[in-house]
């Protein structure tokens, strides 16, 4: 089955596909393959996506949502902390959603609309459905932002084969066309985000050496700075003018910016409250305005070089990605930091989508590129942010440092802090800062059943596992008793899976049967898990079951097994919960017994034995 590549951008989105071994962007509107990432919600319930929505931004700013990707996967608190929001937020303490004439929508739903539109247009023009895709994300996106992207795709009816980092996609697009060897910096300045990655390309293997950037820095900031300045020239303050004026000023600012890409000066004229603000902005004046923004690009570049253990002169080239790199000022700035004239042969707006399409093709069973290249292209990616645990005093202990190659697994041992401590809170965080408060909280779970003893006596091994998609699971195990707990990190930005499932159901574009099938599948997996866990427990500690429990549980299991043959997910969910409830007492007694090898999952165990770099791991395994 064929798959597509999607660049879900802050300002623009593109869908591309490999045809006859060549990447092609699908035309979204006559004459352009670029879909503005703008969604307008009308009172009638109609949703307008793309250029038509963008055109309405001035006349209907409240209901026209742009640059929403900046908020994807962020909590309401985080978004408010960023300052000017510009939209009417819904009165909800936990979930961030934006009030429009058509209702309140979360950034996830807005992103899903953009993806849905891309898919619908592609479905109509391609000879297949764009139901499977590789989607790109900024390298600096954290776990919650990645999860949110996945869920938005799910909501749009797209199966995500892989999320890949935008800079990596760009390298893939260039590498495939040129078969380059060497070390490259990928400088990606989009509308709202900045990414810098250092990659090494050898014999068809792309190895990401380091990555960095800023999720709140991009070409929009240039527009904002210019808009502020233009209004100020007209005696107005950007912060106090109406939303419509802000939008209009930014639109003019964007035009001025574009003109300055070619010319040394740009004329501008726009009307605010029947008064015309007009004048000329020179390139030099523009440079002064954006100077502080450009300077913020410097530190991430240095950091990325340092992480890759390279000096700028050891690079073989700098690849430009993102519309904002069209600006000659940005190009000069790049040449200045890296000492290289940047590479920009492929359209910087399309290069990321092309790379995503290449990766989608390579991950497909009937890959075209694999046949052409002999299947030798492989992507070795790294994790962009450090992952760690909270330790005493709110300090972060890093377990998987930034730039670790993925898939990765790393174990670290911890111990108890108090005498007779029988439980331990495991708080998983992501980020580079030392204090938990400055990092992003990903998940919390508790390890119970630690045998009582003096502080520092227990040995708790925590294992972090990151798969090739950069998704994390964490398990903790007390080595003496074998007590174990684990968590697959789920999004922590206000929406839980149930809420997303609810949105899925509400999504009218889905045939109801489809939704039910998916929900049933999910419930089925959960039932299997619970049944299996109970069977394992019974085999081990069956003697702890009372006779009454035995018969009650037996009945529940019988109905559950018959429900698993059916198709109703709610029945399945209810019965699964019932089984958990009626066996809770049993589970509790098992916990109390603190058996040494309960819940043992052999796979995790095997992996653990082989991944730690401790000498014991190399001892021959007894047969």
165 belongs to the binding site for other proteins (CB under 8 A): no
Of 2, 54, 60, 69, which one is the catalytic site residue?
69
CB closer to other proteins out of 147 and 367: 367
Is the backbone of residue 387 left (phi > 0), alpha (psi -120 to 50) or beta? beta
Q: Is 156 in contact with 27 (CB distance < 8 Å)?
A: no
**From residue 105 to residue 144, what is the string marking binding to other proteins with x (rule CB under 8 A)?**
----------------------------------------
- What is the distance between the alpha carbons of residues 254 and 284, in angstroms, rounded to a whole number? 16
* Residue choice 77, 88, 125, 405 for contact with other proteins (CB under 8 A): 405
Active site residue 166: yes
Number of residues that bind other proteins (CB under 8 A): 43
**Which letter, b or e, does each residue of 114-152 get, where b requires 16 or more Cβ atoms within 10 Å of its Cβ?**
bbbbbbebbeeebeeebbbbbbbbbbbbbbbbbbbbbbb
Taking CB under 8 A as the binding criterion, the range among 52-60, 240-248, 450-458, 602-610 that sits at the site for other proteins is 602-610
* Residue choice 161, 201, 315, 594 for contact with other proteins (CB under 8 A): 161
Residues 6+ apart with CB under 8 A from 157: 116, 119, 131, 509, 510
Taking CB under 8 A as the binding criterion, the range among 76-84, 347-355, 491-499, 615-623 that sits at the site for other proteins is 615-623
Within residues 421-480, the interface with other proteins by CB under 8 A covers: 434, 465, 467-468
Q: Is 165 in contact with 181 (CB distance < 8 Å)?
A: no
Active site residue 398: no
Of 166, 214, 220, 381, which one is the catalytic site residue?
166
Taking CB under 8 A as the binding criterion, the range among 174-182, 186-194, 327-335, 613-621 that sits at the site for other proteins is 613-621
Active site residue 413: no
Within residues 337-376, the interface with other proteins by CB under 8 A covers: 362-363, 365, 376
613 belongs to the binding site for other proteins (CB under 8 A): yes
Active site residue 419: no
Closest CA to 437 of 394, 393, 490: 394
Least distance between other proteins and beta carbon 214 (Å) = 19
621 belongs to the binding site for other proteins (CB under 8 A): yes
- SS3 track for 450-509: CCCCCCCCCCEEEEEEECCCCCEEEEEEECCCCCEEEEECCCCCCCCHHHHHHHHHHCCC
**From residue 183 to residue 222, what is the string marking binding to other proteins with x (rule CB under 8 A)?**
-------------------xxxx-x---------------
What is residue 387's three-state secondary structure?
strand
| DSSP state letters, 81-123 | HTS---SPBPS-SSS--EEETTEEE-HHHHHHHHHHHHHHHHH
Q: Is 410 in contact with 399 (CB distance < 8 Å)?
A: yes
Where does this chain bind other proteins (CB under 8 A)? 161-162, 202-205, 207, 362-363, 365, 376, 378-380, 397-398, 404-410, 412, 434, 465, 467-468, 603, 606-607, 609-611, 613-615, 617-621, 623
The catalytic residues are 7, 69, 166, 188
């Amino acid at each position: 089955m064929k798959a597509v590549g999607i660049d879900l951008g802050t300002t623009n989105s593109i869908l591309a596909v490999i045809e006859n071994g060549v990447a092609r962007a699908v035309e979204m509107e006559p004459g352009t393959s670029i879909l503005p990432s703008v969604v307008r919600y009308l009172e009638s319930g109609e949703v307008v996506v793309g250029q038509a929505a963008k055109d309405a931004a001035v006349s209907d700013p409240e209901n026209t949502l742009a640059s929403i990707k900046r908020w994807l996967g962020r909590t309401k608190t985080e978004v408010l902390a960023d300052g000017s929001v510009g939209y009417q937020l819904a009165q909800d303490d936990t979930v961030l959603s934006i009030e429009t004439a058509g209702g309140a929508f979360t950034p996830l739903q807005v992103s899903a609309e953009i993806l849905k539109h891309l898919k619908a247009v592609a479905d109509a023009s391609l000879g297949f459905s764009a139901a499977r895709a590789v989607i790109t994300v900024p390298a600096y996106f954290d776990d919650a932002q990645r999860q949110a992207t996945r869920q938005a795709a799910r909501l749009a009816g797209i199966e995500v084969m892989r999320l890949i980092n935008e800079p990596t996609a760009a390298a893939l697009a260039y590498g495939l066309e040129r078969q380059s060897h060497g070390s490259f910096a990928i400088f990606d300045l989009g509308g709202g985000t900045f990414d810098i990655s250092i990659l090494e390309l050898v014999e068809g293997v792309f190895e990401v050496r380091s990555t960095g950037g800023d999720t709140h820095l991009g070409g929009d900031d240039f527009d904002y700075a210019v808009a502020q300045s233009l209004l100020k020239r007209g005696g107005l303050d950007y912060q106090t003018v109406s939303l419509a004026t802000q939008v209009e000023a930014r639109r003019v600012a964007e035009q001025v910016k574009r003109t300055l890409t070619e010319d040394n000066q740009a004329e501008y004229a726009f009307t605010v409250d029947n008064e015309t603000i007009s004048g000329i902005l020179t390139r030099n004046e523009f440079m002064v305005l954006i100077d502080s923004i450009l300077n913020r690009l410097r530190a991430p570049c240095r950091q990325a070089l340092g992480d890759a253990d390279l000096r700028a002169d050891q690079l073989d080239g700098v690849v430009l990605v993102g519309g904002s790199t069209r600006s000659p000022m940005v190009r000069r700035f790049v040449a200045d930091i890296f000492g290289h004239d940047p590479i920009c042969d492929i359209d910087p707006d399309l290069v990321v989508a092309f790379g995503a399409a290449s990766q989608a093709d390579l991950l497909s069973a009937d890959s075209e590129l694999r046949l052409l290249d002999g299947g030798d292209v492989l992507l070795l990616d790294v994790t962009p942010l450090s992952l760690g645990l909270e330790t005493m005093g709110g300090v972060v202990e890093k377990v998987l440092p930034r730039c670790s190659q993925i898939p990765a697994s790393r174990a670290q041992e911890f111990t108890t802090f108090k005498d007779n401590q029988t439980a331990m809170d495991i708080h998983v965080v992501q980020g580079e800062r030392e204090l938990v408060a400055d990092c992003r909280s990903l998940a919390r779970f508790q390890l119970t059943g630690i045998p009582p003893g003096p502080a520092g006596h227990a040995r708790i091994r925590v294992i972090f596992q990151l798969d090739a998609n950069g998704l994390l699971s964490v398990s903790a195990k007390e080595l003496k008793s074998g007590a174990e707990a684990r968590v697959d990190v789920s999004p922590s930005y206000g929406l839980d899976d149930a809420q997303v499932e609810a949105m899925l159901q509400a999504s009218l574009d889905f045939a109801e049967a489809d939704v039910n099938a998916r929900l049933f599948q999910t419930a089925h997996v959960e039932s299997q898990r619970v049944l299996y866990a109970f069977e394992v427990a019974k085999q081990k500690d069956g003697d702890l079951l009372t006779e009454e429990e035995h018969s009650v549980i037996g009945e529940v299991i019988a109905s559950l097994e018959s429900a698993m043959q059916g198709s109703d997910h709610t029945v399945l969910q209810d019965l699964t919960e019932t089984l958990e409830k009626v066996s809770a007492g049993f589970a509790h007694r098992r916990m109390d017994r603190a058996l040494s090898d309960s819940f043992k999952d052999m796979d995790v165990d095997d992996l653990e034995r082989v991944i730690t770099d401790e000498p014991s791991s190399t001892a021959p395994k007894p047969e």
